[in-house]
Structure 1
Amino acid sequence: MSYKKASDILPKELIDIIQKYVDGEYIYIPRKEDNRKSWGDKTRSKNEVYERNLTIYSKYKSGISVKKLAETYYLSPNWIHRIISKLNRE
């Protein structure tokens, strides 16, 4: 998210109307629903986490214990179980 100067992008009449409600304060204008991006869409985070989870699942299937996976990936055993359960359903 970046800040834009209102006077650079909005007509003076609209700025005058907005100033009646918010004078000199910061306001957040959310994206339209159809323009929203879900978590990880701007970066590769979503794909990286998915790849990590596939690796965890693969290692679990090859015999590595949940405890060892939790230690290796710095995750709780419960989180490892969630990853395994989710990928097991797919």
Structure 2
Amino acid sequence: MKYMNAHVVFPKDLLREMQKYVQGEMVYIPNPEGVRKKWGENSGHREFLRQRNAEIRHQFSEGISIDQLMVQHSLSYDSIKKIVYSKK
């Protein structure tokens, strides 16, 4: 989150109205409802996990055992089991 000067961002009338409530303080203005990004969208980690899980499902469907997938992907038995038996 970066700092922005209110004089640059807001119209003068709105700034005067806001100054009735807060003067010389930082105010956080949240995004509108429904605009928020989901976890991992900015960093790309969400997509990485989606691709990794798809690969694990594919390998499992080709006959690789859960034990082998555990070692290959450094995940627990329960984590691999959740991935391969999920309905995605």
Structure 2 residue aligned with 1:24: 24
Distance 1:70 1:10, change over 3 A: same
- Gap regions ≥5 residues in structure 1: none
Distance 2:23 2:66 in 1: 56
Please report the TM-score for the alignment, with normalisation by the length of structure 2. Answer: 0.68
Structure 1 residue aligned with 2:73: 73
Structure 2 residue aligned with 1:58: 58
Please report the TM-score for the alignment, with normalisation by the length of structure 1. Answer: 0.67
Distance 2:78 2:54 in 1: 16
- Gap regions ≥5 residues in structure 2: none
Distance 2:19 2:77 in 1: 53
Per-residue deviation, 1:83: 1.2
Q: Of Structure 1 and Structure 2, which has the larger fraction of its residues in helix?
A: 1
Distance 2:81 2:24 in 1: 50
